[in-house]
Amino acid sequence: GDSVTQMEGPVTLSEEAFLTINCTYTATGYPSLFWYVQYPGEGLQLLLKATKADDKGSNKGFEATYRKETTSFHLEKGSVQVSDSAVYFCALRGAGSYQLTFGKGTKLSVIP
């Protein structure tokens, strides 16, 4: 079945540092890929998405590129802020499916 593996947290960075959160997936066909963010005490918010190979999703300075050859969708940001502290979830939706499969989440803490 489909699965998503993302790097174990927690991740602690200083403000303005570069962020990478790795995400790899296993799925048949061509899934759609997503990054969701969960701020403390809140539900999940869609951060960005990509629906086909080589697509780049971007939002709020975050980017991720759909790499079919490496089955990856790594999240990056060039300069993190304290307000980016949250839990980040990588997810996929299989081709022709409605079900989202989530990774376990990576907690990011950004310190001033």
Partner 1 sequence: ETGVTQTPRHLVMGMTNKKSLKCEQHLGHNAMYWYKQSAKKPLELMFVYNFKEQTENNSVPSRFSPECPNSSHLFLHLHTLQPEDSALYLCASSQVKGNEQYFGPGTRLTVT
Query: Given the rule CB under 8 A, which residues bind partner 1?
Result: 4, 34, 36, 41-46, 49, 89, 93, 97-105
Task: Tell me how far apart the alpha carbons of residues 101 and 3 are, in angstroms, rounded to a whole number.
Answer: 6
Q: What are 74's two structure tokens?
A: 């790594």
Taking the complex as a whole, the smallest distance from the CB of residue 17 to partner 1 amounts, in Å, to 25
104 Cβ neighbours under 8 A, 6+ residues apart: 6, 8
Q: Which CB sits closer to partner 1, 74 or 93?
A: 93
State in angstroms the smallest separation of the CB of 43 from partner 1.
Answer: 4
Residue 24 beta carbon to partner 1: minimum distance, rounded to whole angstroms = 14
Contact 23, 40 (CB under 8 A): no
Cβ closer to partner 1: 77 or 101? 101
Rounded-to-integer distance, Cα 23 and Cα 48, Å: 14
Select 17 or 100, whichever has its Cβ closest to partner 1.
Answer: 100
Closest C-alpha to 6, from 71, 77, 83: 71
Of the pair 42, 69, the CB lying nearest partner 1 is at: 42
